[in-house]
Amino acid sequence: MGAPATGRSASDAMAERLAGFVAREEGLAPERVRAANLRRLAGGASREIWSVDLSIERDGGVEELPLVVRKDPAGRVGDGGDRGVERGVLRAAWAGGVPVPRPRWGTTDASVLGAPFFLMDRIAGETLPRRLLREDAFAKTRAGMAAELGAILAKIHALDLASPDLAALARPPAGRSPARAELERVAESIRTLAAEPHPVLDLAERWLAERVPEPPRITLVHGDYRVGNAIFDETGVRAILDWELVHVGDPIEDLGWLCTRAWRFGSPLPAGGVGTREQLVAAYEAASGRKVDREALRFWEACGNFRVAVVWLQQSRVFLDGKVPSVELASLGRRTAETEEELLRLLREEL
């Protein structure tokens, strides 16, 4: 890709390339597709998120589509999933009745925008946990959200793994518990990253190792199912976002991750800061027709906190290794103590 022509901004050039790409995908003349109001959205730490309005002229009239571009940063490969796989998962979820933005066009060819990307419908609503948990306008949404998230999760776990759109997802090795594999992965990361002893994390590892559950079944797992990755408004949940950590494994992992302390954002309510574990599980069981093993849920909630400790340790190492002299990173590293406190509660059954 060359530099934009004189007088044209980089966003103008990107909009033009998007319009041309969609025209080719639809078999239309270039002048029949127009892209306007392209702007980068806040968030998307690991992916670029852009808003764009697309107009497609067909014989029957003009179709107006408010869209989002989900794009890898230029030059980034191999981290946080594959955009082609993610788009396929969204197609399967959309077809299965899961509330997700409808996926449209996409490509893994970096020649269009400099990196793989796909387009999906833009859903109106909010994503900020602070607004959800504090503002009076969302009081009704908060009251019903734990149950709503449980019912949606049942739909995700019911998706057919034989679907062609899910074929590229790796399956857990036969005879190997996904829970044990995850525990070993996280424990090794902690040992690699920790700059000082963490006896609580050592204790938690032993506790978890003695309680590794066998999965009741193997399903699609969202991988980052939590408040902050859901679009909501005054009526409830509009869509589930951020599928880049999707994988095949133990469905109880998603329930436990939603209950992890870090995703309560200061609320005392354990299920995503919006409800109780009982509300979440009851809705999930009613929608799925399957009982949730409470000990397995406790394991996965504890394992979720164990995983979050890795995040805080990663942030602290960036600071301690002198890569980024950031007070924010240093303070995030101190949050390991919060995770350890929560793990001690779980180990003592103080639920």
> Residue 344 corresponds to which tokens in the numbers above?
């001690």
pLDDT tens for each residue of 170-202: 888 888 899 999 999 999 999 999 888 999 999
CB 22 within 8 A of CB 54: yes
**Measured between alpha carbons, how far apart are the two ends of the chain, in Å?**
56
Indicate whether this model's pTM tops 0.95.
Answer: no
pLDDT tens for each residue of 128-186: 999 999 999 999 999 999 999 999 999 999 999 999 999 889 888 888 899 999 999 99
Window from 196-210, 217-231, 330-344 with minimum mean pLDDT: 330-344
215 CB neighbour count, 10 Å cutoff: 18
Domains annotated on the chain, with CATH:
10-121 (3.30.200.20), 129-347 (3.90.1200.10)
pLDDT tens for each residue of 103-121: 999 998 889 999 999 999 9
* 235-245 b/e (C-beta count within 10 Å ≥ 16 → b): ebbbbbbbbbb
Which alpha helices (H) appear in the chain, and where do they start and end?
10-26, 83-95, 129-134, 139-157, 178-193, 199-209, 252-258, 277-288, 294-320, 327-333, 336-347
Q: Show the CA angle centred on residue 32, arms to residues 49 and 86, nearest 5°.
A: 30
At 1, the pLDDT band (50, 70, 90 cuts) reads: very low
Can you spell out the DSSP letters for 164-189?
GGGTTSPPPPTT--HHHHHHHHHHHH
pLDDT tens for each residue of 272-308: 999 999 999 999 999 999 999 999 999 999 999 999 9
> Residue 69 corresponds to which tokens in the numbers above?
């571009």
> Residue 298 corresponds to which tokens in the numbers above?
């406790």
